[in-house]
């Protein structure tokens, strides 16, 4: 939307909006600007929000803005202004400038950029920049207006003027220059009779229709107007629009035809495209249960496409131009909010998006979503909008909410009702060790403890999967080495060793990243027992060596070990839930790794490490 400038080119007043969070400095700037140039009339605001409101409500010719402001900055304010008024003069006048800010401002379309200095000379420079920006903007608008006028004039000019004898084939007495561009034949060829216009140029399927239209108009003494096809010398088919009239002699006999021809091939193409677009729109409206409408705010009249009545199951014959016709059908609990939304949209010239239940023609409540925006054509404000049936979406939303509630309830049951018995069982095992005076092998208690630990680990992993959001939106800067070292301390590692070769810092959900490392470390230690290394120390793979590092192309990180690795035929399924090659594995650890990675927008793959073990590569694709 282009905002018209309030002043006119010349010596008229230039209204300037100055936005600066320092009221004192803003007033001083306004005073000096008006003193430097008596054409300038400066109004001030102390925030971008107030500046936008002033810009919307008042005729302003130019905006001058500081960069540093509470809650925003001059570049964000520039974006807001450009969204509303793409070509509006906007100058950034700031004391917090830098080459980076200046470059970004230019990229975003700032009109001019000026660094604040000391002394009063800077205001003379600023006043000059404001006047120049205004004059250039005014000149651009004037040029665009003249170009539109010239384009309109050219589009209405005749293409080729002719005079034909009123005889079969319409032999040409005169044809103006330009016909060769239309059909590839020269004016001289037609004037000499070397080419028969009707039989050799007019498309065979249109020749009889053209002749009939011309003859009927001439017989009635009226001008004729007809659109038809021709075949040019190179075989291309073009559309012409012809307008002409019969020329009579003193005996009232028609002896000639005079008129002009215009190439309308592109117009016909656009008409076909428009027809196709209209057909596709009709299909889209039908497929999406959407109806469109247009509200003339000044006349307070609304035009509704038949699709609106189809969505609401209403009879179009009962429709009315009164906007209140459908407003009154909105559920009473939502009517006031809907009316206020419409009024606010018109007043702020903004966009509308609201949802409400509305009474259909079958007396059923239907949830709809209404979206609209204000457009100004010919000085008249209109609200163009669409209404969409979202009842199924609302029902899916309600089902999803119920499912989430049940899922959260299940997670709570798992966390509370299952953990408590496990805790009791662990305590009982400890008591049994302390009080056992029989010859029961200690191994049984160790096995029971290990089983309880696996159950606890399984609960942790299931809870992570159940509560893991599809997409993580809140992240923080995390030092990879710090998180890896912290997780290593929390994992039962035995004599396993860890080496970290990374200085990477990444944006991540810290708890989620910790779950990734804990499960990958646990996987390496758990599966390291099947290795065949000479330095292996007892069961459990306690001598496994684990490495954490940055990928070669710096697009992510890896966790590798020197254990037995994962056979190629098993690598595609290691992330599936419940899959584990270890007798004491839960089968959910690597699934948790994949879920957390996916929620971050990352990818995770498994391959063979340099030492023959497993290597898990996590690629941070969006960074």
| pLDDT given for residue 415 in this prediction | 59
The residue-averaged pLDDT of 149-165 equals 66
Q: Assess whether the region 14-154 and the region 288-389 belong to the same CATH fold.
A: no
Query: Is residue 589 very low, low, confident or very high in pLDDT (cuts 50, 70, 90)?
Result: confident
- pLDDT tens digits along 326-373: 788 889 999 888 888 888 887 877 788 888 888 888 888 888 888 888
d(CA 41, CA 33): 8
**What would the CATH number be for the domain defined by 288-389?**
3.30.450.20
The pLDDT of residue 432 is 66
For residues 243 and 225, is the Cβ–Cβ distance under 8 A? yes
What pLDDT digit, counting tens, does each position of 255-271 carry? 899 888 989 989 888 88
- The yes-or-no verdict on residue 38 having pLDDT over 70 is yes
Per-residue tokens: 297: 């705010």
Q: CATH classification of 14-154 is 3.40.50.2300, yes or no?
A: yes
Listed range (4-13, 131-140, 373-382) with the worst mean pLDDT: 4-13
Give just the sign of the alpha carbon dihedral 489, 491, 492, 498.
negative
pLDDT band (50, 70, 90) for residue 576? confident
Residue 230, number of CB atoms within 10 A of its CB: 24
Q: What CATH number was assigned to the domain covering residues 468-619? A: 3.30.565.10
CB 288 within 8 A of CB 388: yes
Residues 6+ apart with CB under 8 A from 195: 185, 189, 201
Q: Distance between CA 374 and CA 385 in Å, rounded?
A: 9
What are the structural domain ranges in the chain? Answer: 14-154, 160-269, 288-389, 394-465, 468-619
The tokens for 303 are 């035009």
Per-residue pLDDT tens digits for 82-104:
998 888 999 998 877 678 888 88
Q: Distance (Å, rounded) from C-alpha 226 to C-alpha 211? A: 10
**Tokens 């239309």 sit on residue:** 182
For residue 161, what pLDDT band results from cuts at 50, 70 and 90?
confident
The whole-number pLDDT of residue 470 equals 57
Question: What are the structure tokens assigned to 287, written together?
Answer: 């497929």
Give the tens place of pLDDT for each residue, 190-205: 899 998 998 999 999 9
Q: Which long-range contacts (CB under 8 A, 24 or more apart) does 298-306 make?
A: 298/380, 298/381, 299/380
Alpha helices per DSSP H over 349-479: 391-413, 419-435, 442-467
Q: What's the pTM value of the predicted model, to 2 decimals?
A: 0.35
Q: What is the tens place of the pLDDT at every residue in 524-543?
A: 888 765 444 444 443 444 58
Distance from C-alpha of 513 to C-alpha of 332, rounded to nearest angstrom = 49
Token pair 């909105």: residue: 330
Task: Extract the tokens encoding 244.
Answer: 């002409």
Local confidence band at 418 (pLDDT 50, 70, 90 cut-offs): low
Rounded Cα distance between 101 and 461, Å, is 47
Report pLDDT for 3. Answer: 52
Confirm if 366 and 350 have CB atoms less than 8 A apart. Answer: no
pLDDT exceeds cutoff 50 at 392? yes
Strands 290-296 and 301-304: antiparallel
Up-side HSE of residue 25: CA atoms within 13 Å toward CB? 14
Give the whole-number percent of the chain exceeding pLDDT 90: 29
Position 4 scores a pLDDT of 47
- The answer to whether 347 and 379 have CB atoms below 8 angstroms apart is no
- The yes or no reply on domain 160-269 and CATH 3.30.450.20 is yes
Helix (H) or strand (E) holding 115: strand 112-115
Q: Within a 10 A sphere around the Cβ of 352, how many other Cβ atoms?
A: 18
pLDDT at 434 over 90: no
Cα–Cα dist 587/523, whole Å = 10
> Mean pLDDT across the chain, nearest whole number?
80
Contact 574, 594 (CB under 8 A): no
């Amino acid at each position: 939307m282009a905002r018209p400038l309030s002043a006119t080119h010349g010596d008229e007043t230039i209204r300037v909006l100055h936005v600066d969070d320092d009221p004192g400095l803003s007033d001083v700037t306004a005073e000096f600007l008006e003193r430097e140039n008596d054409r300038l009339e400066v109004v001030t605001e102390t925030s971008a929000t107030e500046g936008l409101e002033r810009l919307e409500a008042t005729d302003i010719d130019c905006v001058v803005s500081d960069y540093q402001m509470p809650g925003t900055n001059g570049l964000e304010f520039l974006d807001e202004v450009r969204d509303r008024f793409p070509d509006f003069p906007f100058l950034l006048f700031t004391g917090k400038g830098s080459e980076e800010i200046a470059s970004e401002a230019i990229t975003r379309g700032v009109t001019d950029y000026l660094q604040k200095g000391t002394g009063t000379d800077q205001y003379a420079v600023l006043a000059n920049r404001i006047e120049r920006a205004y004059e250039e903007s005014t000149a651009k608008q004037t040029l665009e207006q003249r170009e539109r006028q010239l384009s309109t004039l050219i589009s209405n000019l005749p293409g080729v003027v002719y005079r034909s004898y009123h005889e079969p084939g319409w032999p040409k007495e005169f044809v103006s220059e330009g016909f060769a561009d239309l059909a590839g034949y020269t004016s001289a060829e037609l004037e000499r009779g070397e080419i028969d216009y009707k039989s050799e140029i007019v498309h065979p399927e249109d020749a009889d229709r053209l002749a009939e239209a011309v003859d009927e108009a001439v017989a009635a003494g009226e001008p004729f107007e007809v659109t038809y096809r021709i075949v040019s010398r190179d075989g291309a088919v073009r559309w012409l629009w012809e307008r002409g009239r019969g020329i009579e002699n003193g005996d009232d006999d028609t002896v000639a035809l005079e008129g002009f021809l215009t190439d309308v091939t592109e117009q016909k193409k656009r008409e076909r495209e428009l027809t196709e677009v209209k057909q596709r729109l009709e299909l889209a409206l039908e497929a999406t249960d959407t109806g469109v409408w247009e509200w003339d705010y000044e006349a307070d009249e609304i035009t509704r496409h038949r699709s609106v009545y189809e969505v609401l199951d209403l009879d179009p014959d009962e429709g009315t131009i009164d906007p209140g016709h459908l407003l009154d059908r909105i559920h009473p609990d939502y009517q006031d909010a809907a009316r206020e939304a419409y009024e606010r949209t018109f007043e702020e010239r903004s966009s509308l998006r609201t949802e409400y239940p509305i009474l259909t023609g079958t007396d059923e409540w239907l949830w709809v979503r209404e979206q609209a925006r204000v457009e100004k054509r010919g000085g008249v404000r209109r609200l163009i909008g669409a209404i969409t049936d979202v009842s199924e979406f609302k029902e899916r939303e309600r089902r999803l909410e119920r499912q989430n509630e049940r899922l959260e309830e299940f997670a709570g049951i798992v966390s509370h009702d299952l953990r408590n018995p496990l805790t009791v069982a662990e305590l009982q095992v400890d008591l049994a060790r302390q009080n056992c005076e029989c010859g029961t092998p200690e191994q049984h208690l160790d096995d029971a403890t290990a089983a309880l630990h696996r159950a606890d680990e399984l609960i942790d992993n299931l809870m992570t999967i159940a509560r893991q959001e599809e997409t993580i939106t809140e992240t923080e800067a995390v030092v990879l080495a710090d998180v890896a070292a912290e997780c290593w301390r929390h994992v039962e590692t035995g004599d396993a060793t860890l080496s970290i070769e990374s200085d990477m810092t990444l944006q991540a959900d810290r708890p989620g990243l910790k779950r990734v490392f804990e499960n990958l470390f646990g996987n390496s230690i758990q599966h390291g027992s099947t290795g065949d290394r000479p330095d292996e120390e007892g069961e459990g793979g306690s001598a496994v060596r684990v490495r954490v590092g940055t990928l070669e192309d710096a697009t992510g990180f890896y966790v590798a070990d020197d254990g037995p690795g994962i056979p190629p035929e098993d690598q595609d399924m290691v992330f599936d839930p419940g899959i584990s090659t270890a007798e004491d594995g839960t089968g959910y650890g690597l699934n948790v790794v994949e879920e957390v990675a996916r929620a971050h927008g990352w990818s995770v793959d498994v391959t063979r490490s340099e030492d023959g073990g497993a290597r898990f590569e996590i690629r941070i694709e969006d960074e």
